[in-house]
Structure 1
Amino acid sequence: MIEFKGVHYPKSVILHAVFFYVRYAVSYRDLEEILAERGVTVDHATLNRWVVKFAPLIATRAQARKRPTAGSWRMDETYIKVKGRWTYLYRAVDRNGQTLDFMLSERRDLAAARRFFMRAIATNGVPDRVVIDKSGANLAGLQAVNVILKFTGEGRTVEIQQVKYLNNILEQDHRFIKRITGPMKGFKAFHSAAATISGIEAAHMIRKGQIPANGATAFQTFADLAA
């Protein structure tokens, strides 16, 4: 259970605020106004603290509870502005478009790619194949992971394919994330960007039906992850 001790608002109010921010294209000031219309007075700075604190916790639970994914992956990165500079959001989905993992990085290089692949494998297991673009860093990162797999007793390595059109499904998936982050007009700190994006990804997984819902609404599913 995620602890809500020390906060001065009901848990339901906090969860509604966090969910609406990471699921819909609104700014903190937009959300402040929406809540005020419903009789909840809370400033945008407090809303930010709620998102940064609770979104990553809920996202971790979403990863743990998501349905099994396919062994054929699509991996690429997109751009997110933090402190006026572009950072790199590494993302991977399976062949059916189901979210596998994501990672915000200040750099786009071999080390970042390798770290992302190892993280995704730790969460989802070793895939049969990974489709990437023509990025040399991503290729080198995945080759480095294969070396690790070969010498750590995993018993198999990953087939690498560099076929751009096969990544179209991931390009489309990027658009949903960018549509939500657009009104945010960039982030002021890397840690808050990473926290917020984790919540956006969790809400996106719910939208795609990756979290067992048993007839619950999207918000109810999101709230259940905090229970």
Structure 2
Amino acid sequence: MISKVSQPRLKGFRFPRFVISYAVWAYHRFALSLRDVEDFLAERGVIVSYESIRVWCQRFGAQVAASIRRDRPAPTDKWHLDEVVISIRGQKHWLWRAVDANGDVLEILVQARRNAHAAKRFLRKLVQRWGAPRVIVTDKLRSYGVAVRDLCPSVEHRSHKGLNNRSVASHRHTRRREKIMGRFKSSRQAQRFLSVHDQTATLFRPKRHRLSAISYRHSRTDAFSLWNDYAAEMTA
């Protein structure tokens, strides 16, 4: 569970650190709105407005996500890349997402274009963070081929719609949250939210169908322990 052990208070915040970390965890772990999290906290005797929760999630969510990404094991050498359209203020934008062979999200990037320049920008960001993989699997979008040839020509590129189901399936949680939030308000908001949301999912969704009940409980306990450690690292 989220720890209630006494921790140093965050300067400028009147609520204990564990309350703030719990709110950030609940918002990104479950399909909840900010007002839902406000009600969760009110039931536990913590009276705080949803606007304060919004500030907490924006300010500390990125710090926790960076800590999760820092401590993650190296990804597999086979990546799946895919892009999906999202509507922001009536305009089409594209959410580019990369996952490894285990289905763990490596990176996301919201862009206004779906062309070779956008594909290169996304792949460059991926390679700078994780290094080059052995295999990249994509759909039939030709922009991927241009990006792979220019940035990592030694990587095997498999372009086939039917091979990329793992990446396509990773968009389901995004669609669910997009509906609850009434669509994203800006590309910056979408990038900020999904960067935290996907890393939280990596920590707290350990492919339960592949684990025994005991293994899953151990994994969940480890995830809570890590979250408490990351909450202790948060800085105002």
Counterpart residue number, 1:24: 30
* Alignment equivalent of 1:106, drawn from 112, 118, 124: 112
Counterpart residue number, 2:213: none
Contact kept in structure 1, 2:97 and 2:107, CA below 8 Å: yes
Q: Where do residues 192-211 of structure 1 align in structure 2 (5 Å cutoff)?
A: 192-209=189-206
Percent sequence identity over aligned pairs: 31
* TM-score for the superposition, normalised by structure 1: 0.84
Counterpart residue number, 2:177: 180
Counterpart residue number, 1:223: 228
Counterpart residue number, 2:215: none
SS at match of 2:158: strand
Structure 1 unmatched ranges of 5 or more: 148-156
Is 1:165 aligned with 2:127?
Answer: no
Contact kept in structure 2, 1:92 and 1:99, CA below 8 Å: yes
Is 1:7 aligned with 2:13?
Answer: yes
Contact kept in structure 2, 1:132 and 1:164, CA below 8 Å: yes
Counterpart residue number, 2:40: 34
Deviations 1:156-208 (A, max 9, x none): x2111101111111122221332233311112233222211111111111024
Counterpart residue number, 1:49: 55
SS at match of 1:225: helix
Counterpart residue number, 2:91: 85
* TM-score for the superposition, normalised by structure 2: 0.81
Counterpart residue number, 1:123: 129
Structure 2 distance, partners of 1:145, 1:111, is 12
Counterpart residue number, 2:211: none
Q: Could you say if the C-alpha distance between residues 172 and 69 of structure 1 is closer, same or farther in structure 2, counting changes exceeding 3 Å?
A: same
Aligned length: 214
1:214 shift after superposition:
7.1
Please provide the CA RMSD for this pair: 2.3
Ranked by relative contact order (alpha carbons within 8 Å, sequence separation 6 or more), the top structure is 1
Q: Could you say if the C-alpha distance between residues 191 and 207 of structure 1 is closer, same or farther in structure 2, counting changes exceeding 3 Å?
A: same
1:16 shift after superposition:
0.8
SS at match of 1:9: coil
1:71 shift after superposition:
0.8
SS at match of 2:110: strand
Structure 1 distance, partners of 2:116, 2:98, is 16
Counterpart residue number, 1:190: 187
Q: Could you say if the C-alpha distance between residues 92 and 173 of structure 1 is closer, same or farther in structure 2, counting changes exceeding 3 Å?
A: same
Structure 1 distance, partners of 2:227, 2:70, is 13
5-14 or 172-181: bigger deviation: 172-181
Structure 2 unmatched ranges of 5 or more: 1-8, 208-217
